[in-house]
Amino acid sequence: MVTFDHRDPGTPESEWRTALAARTLPEVSLDIDALLVIAAHPDDETLGVAGLVHTVAQRGIPIRVVIATDGENSHPDSPTHTPADLAARRQTEVRDALGVVAPTATLRLLHLPDGTLGDHEDDLTAALQEEIAALTGMTDAAPHRILVASPWTGDGHRDHRIVGALAERVATEAGATVRGYPIWLWHWGTPADVPWKRAESVALDAVALDAKRRALAVHDSQLRPLSDASGDEAIVHDGMQEHFARYQEILIRPESVSREAAASTPRSHFERFFATHDDPWGFRSSWYEQRKRELLLATLPRATYDAGLELGCATGILTARLAERCAHLVAVDFAEEALTAAARELVGRDNVTLQTAALPHEWPDGEYDLVLLSEIGYFWNVADLDTAIDRITQSLAPTGHLIACHWRHPMPENPTGGDEVHDRLRANSRWQSVAVHIERDFVLEVFSPYPARSVAQEMGMLP
């Protein structure tokens, strides 16, 4: 554990602002159905994630907040306030602060002893399990669509470490998404102490930041001296408060939540997504999608193919164009909502077979001279991606083509990234890259089994 004194000046906020300005962090995904915030003490939740709470509340997403202790030991040497006095005062403060940022949120105070949470891990574990179960039942949410925000385990405070570690374990066991929020790191640490590769950002607009500042001001017992007497000093002094007046909050992905250990995105996510979006990902309306589609079609080395396989056909917008180039096309998805939409899109196209399959473990039979892997690979974890690559290798004709296309920007909620998908495709010794088109936003690549032939070779222009 880090040793620090809250009365020290600490690291100036100017140093943190410089460090943050030099980095572009991925955004915390707020495509969620519920938010569970866990705090060791009243005010942790306000300092760490009040802006997140307000932003989520404005979207009408259910929020539950759990406070482990009443923070009665914040001033152990106070000559004016007993622990019971402080407990009562801080309970009122946290209720009022939550009322500022999220009036409809549910607050649960566990009243566990401040400073000895290690002796009450079973009580805290049970409470967190109950809260995740309550949110799952309330929203009918898939567990991975519940975001759990808890104190960062590396924050340097024993109670924060205990609560954060338990939250990570409980959330991971339940299949929920978990992130840690630092508080005291900003005081004792420097930019070198931050695990930047696991850091994510919550951007706060002016309204959210104002709500956070007003909520923070409610915690009078921590921001201002209880009295002029020794032992009644402010816990969060003015310099420390500056860290929480930023237009962003930082959350940290746990080490235990590695991409290798992450689960592939479940079917329920896609069923929900397609059921609630008339034009998923802007396939029909977005110029970005239209342009990318035309580029993809232009990369096909042949004018026509005998048998095509489209993995993850979604609503069939691209499928309809591929059908013009294939004598027969098998289009696969595992979301029934997507296939229903695709069937409407493909009315009258007798050369297309729509098929339900939970890729990559369920796989269409047959050999194909064209396989399309577009914007789907990053939804698989590493193990499933490798399985898919093996299945594609087995399905691809000796002179066939694999077309792969993926978004390149960070997507923390996905188990892998677009560049990682293409890195693993290139690492397959059984085929080679024929053509590649790379933009800042996406990578588009054509592969073919060895010995691959260029378009000019296929046309007889070269031997």
DSSP 291-324: HHHHHHHHH-SSS-EEEEEEES-TTSHHHHHHHT
Q: Indicate the burial class of 7 (C-beta count within 10 angstroms; 0-12, 13-18, 19 or more).
A: exposed
Q: What is the pLDDT of residue 314?
A: 95
pLDDT at 413: 67
CA–CA separation, 373 vs 389, rounded Å?
A: 10
Two structure tokens written together for 56? 């989520």
pLDDT at 368: 98
Please compute Rg for the chain using Cα positions: 26
Indicate the SS3 state at residue 264.
Answer: coil
Domains along the sequence of the chain with CATH = 13-257 (3.40.50.10320), 268-458 (3.40.50.150)
Q: In what order do the strands lie in the sheet with 431-438?
A: 352-356, 326-333, 305-311, 368-374, 396-407, 442-449, 431-438
Number of C-alpha atoms within 13 angstroms, CB side, residue 16? 27
Q: Which residue reads 């789907």 in tokens? A: 376
Q: Give the model's pLDDT for residue 262.
A: 62
pLDDT number for residue 114: 94
Give the per-residue pLDDT at 141: 62
- pLDDT of the chain along its 463 residues, tens only? 566 778 889 999 999 999 999 988 888 888 889 999 999 999 999 999 999 999 999 999 999 999 999 999 999 999 999 999 999 999 999 999 999 999 999 999 999 999 888 889 999 999 999 999 999 887 666 777 899 999 999 998 989 999 999 999 899 888 888 999 999 999 999 999 999 988 999 999 999 999 999 999 999 999 999 999 999 999 999 999 999 999 999 999 987 555 445 678 888 778 878 888 888 888 999 999 999 999 999 999 999 999 999 999 999 999 999 999 999 999 999 999 999 999 999 999 999 999 999 999 999 999 999 999 999 999 998 889 999 999 999 999 999 999 999 998 777 667 888 999 999 999 988 999 999 999 989 999 999 998 888 889 888 898 8
The span from the CA of 38 to the CA of 135, in Å, is 14
Are the beta carbons of 130 and 245 closer than 8 angstroms?
no
Q: Residue 224 has what pLDDT?
A: 95
pTM strictly above 0.75: no
Question: Do the Cβ atoms of 274 and 343 come closer than 8 Å?
Answer: no
Q: How far apart are CA 54 and CA 208, in angstroms?
A: 6
Phi, psi of 14 (to 5 degrees): -60, -35
User: What is the helix (H) or strand (E) element at residue 162, kind and residue range?
Assistant: helix 158-174
> Please, is 323 exposed, middle or buried when counting C-beta atoms within 10 Å of its C-beta (0-12, 13-18, 19+)?
buried
Q: In Å, what is the CA distance from 353 to each residue of 164, 269, 314, 315, 347?
A: 49, 24, 14, 14, 11
409: part of which helix (H) or strand (E)?
Answer: none
Q: What is the pLDDT of residue 305?
A: 98
CB atoms within 10 A of CB 268: 15
Cα separation, 328 vs 240, whole angstroms: 65
Distance from C-alpha of 260 to C-alpha of 176, rounded to nearest angstrom: 16
DSSP conformational letter for 27: B
Q: What is the pLDDT of residue 463?
A: 85
